[in-house]
Amino acid sequence: MEELCKMSLLKEIEPIKTKDFLQEKFREYYKSAKITVPPRFTSREWGFLNWGGGVMNRHVRFGTMKEVKNYLKKIAPAHSYHSVAYYKEPGSKTMADKEWQGADLIFDLDADHLPEMEEVKKGKITFSKLMEYIREQTFRLVHDILLGDFGLDEKDLLITFSGGRGYHVHVRTPEVLSLPSGARRELSDYMTGKGLNLENVLIDAGHTKEFIVRGKGPVRKNLGEKKLPQTDAKGWSGILSRKINQIFDELRLNKGKELKEKLKEIRLEKSNINLKKKNDEIFNSLSKRYQKNLVRIAIKEAAIFPDEPVTGDVHRLIRLPGSLHGGSGLRVTTIKSKELENFDPMVSAIAFGEEPVKIRSVVEHPVSMGNIAKLMPKTVVEVPEKAAIYFMARKWANLVLET
């Protein structure tokens, strides 16, 4: 009976002590952390969520970098944010009184918003695979759209791993600061291919045919046949051309039954495709119906899914680069565009070390922190501090109290 009472008491106390432990570890981190404050940080609103949850402490204004660092060291919040907007009076309690002066353009790519999330729920793909998808989408957003089609410069962008399940891309070129919400949402729609006219993304092949028209005689008419654009074409024409070229290149890696299955996936048959031809010749020889099917598939595969409400919100708060994410213990990490292709958050966003920490699992099924550590249901284990903090921040484990 005494043992049962002790266990019951531990179940009540351990979650509280776990939060205390995490807050203290965050405080230690902030004593020497390299925090990247945004441009004109004195004109931005700041907001923080503490370990007890509840309402966010927002409408905070800082006048110096020292004030920012001192606040983080003293409070050690679970989550730290700054506004994407610039205000005349960022500390005012109402938006009207703040006097909006412009806002960075933000693209928030979160694994939870991908269509493939349904595949994770069904157990068809792993969450790690989903994180690869979101990183790859961020890479394409930066390289193909922002640096490519939009012609932005690397210095106009700030790219961060969010510390959670995705990436943030901040665009700070002066031309975007005054964009209204509607225009920002249109940019988000552009990324997804929403409302894309399939006819306009392909090139007119220029094929004509002579018809006899009563009363007019022979008339030459355009047949409306299409051909594949060049891979370096701007906008969705180039995006789709590159994706369709990739599809054909990948088909050539398959033979026999595998090739037949791959062709079925893209609604083609072996009889109407000759993989010995060049990619553009293959596409141009397809009927209009098969071309449209292939374009639809390419749009689906090439689409990028930023969180539209975030992009459209000119008053949004966004995570502070260099701060810690209270739901994972990982660092909000700044990334250069060339680093995106191989970025691994379980290597580059780790903020804690190898000191052993004993934790009690509260999960119903096995969970893992990448390849670093695995947590089984209803177990007490000793793991490196970086894994312990990750599991506890995820609420998958509690700190074990020595009795």
pLDDT tens, 132-169?
889 999 999 999 999 998 999 999 999 999 999 999 99
Say whether both 15 and 73 belong to one domain: no
Instruction: Examine the pLDDT at 295 and tell me if it is beyond 70.
Output: yes
Say whether both 297 and 366 belong to one domain: no
Q: What was the pLDDT predicted at 223?
A: 63
Q: Which of 226-235, 336-345, 363-372 has the highest mean pLDDT?
A: 336-345
Please spell the DSSP secondary structure of 296-333, one letter per residue.
HHHHHHH-----HHHHH-TT-EEEPTTPBPTTT--B-E
Q: What was the pLDDT predicted at 5?
A: 56
Nearest residue to 34 (alpha-carbon basis) of 375, 397, 372, 322: 322
Placement of tokens 């680093």 in the chain: 339
d(CA 164, CA 166): 6
Q: What was the pLDDT predicted at 321?
A: 98
pLDDT tens, 14-27?
989 999 999 999 99
Residue 271's pLDDT band (cuts 50, 70, 90): low
Please spell the DSSP secondary structure of 176-194, one letter per residue.
GTT--HHHHHHHHHHHHTT
Q: What was the pLDDT predicted at 111?
A: 85
Say whether both 21 and 79 belong to one domain: no
| SS3 state of residue 386 | helix
Say whether both 242 and 373 belong to one domain: no
Say whether both 172 and 24 belong to one domain: no
Q: What was the pLDDT predicted at 8?
A: 63
Say whether both 361 and 342 belong to one domain: no
Provide the CATH number for the domain around residue 4. 3.40.5
Residue 254's pLDDT band (cuts 50, 70, 90): confident
End position of a domain, from candidates 280, 302, 324: 302
Provide the CATH number for the domain around residue 150. 3.90.920.10
Q: What was the pLDDT predicted at 4?
A: 54
pLDDT tens, 79-119?
999 999 999 999 999 999 999 999 999 999 998 877 777 77
Q: What was the pLDDT predicted at 255?
A: 81
Regarding beta strands 380-384 and 356-361, do their DSSP bridges make them parallel or antiparallel, or are they unpaired? antiparallel
Residue 224's pLDDT band (cuts 50, 70, 90): low
Domain containing 247 equals: 198-302
End position of a domain, from candidates 335, 351, 367: 351
Angle (deg, nearest 10), helices 385-393 and 2-32? 110
Number of domains composing the chain:
3
- The residue ranking higher by pLDDT, 125 or 35, is 35
Instruction: Examine the pLDDT at 187 and tell me if it is beyond 70.
Output: yes
pLDDT tens, 344-385?
999 999 999 999 999 999 998 888 898 899 999 989 999 999
Across the beta sheet with 380-384, what order do the strands follow?
Answer: 380-384, 356-361, 397-399
Say whether both 206 and 311 belong to one domain: no
Say whether both 346 and 396 belong to one domain: no
Say whether both 271 and 182 belong to one domain: no
Active-site positions read 108, 110, 307
Q: Which residues pair with 369 in a beta bridge?
A: 373
Nearest residue to 321 (alpha-carbon basis) of 331, 307, 313, 309: 331
| SS3 state of residue 344 | coil
Say whether both 255 and 153 belong to one domain: no
Say whether both 291 and 356 belong to one domain: no
Say whether both 64 and 116 belong to one domain: yes
Mean pLDDT of 56-76: 96
pTM above 0.85, yes or no: yes
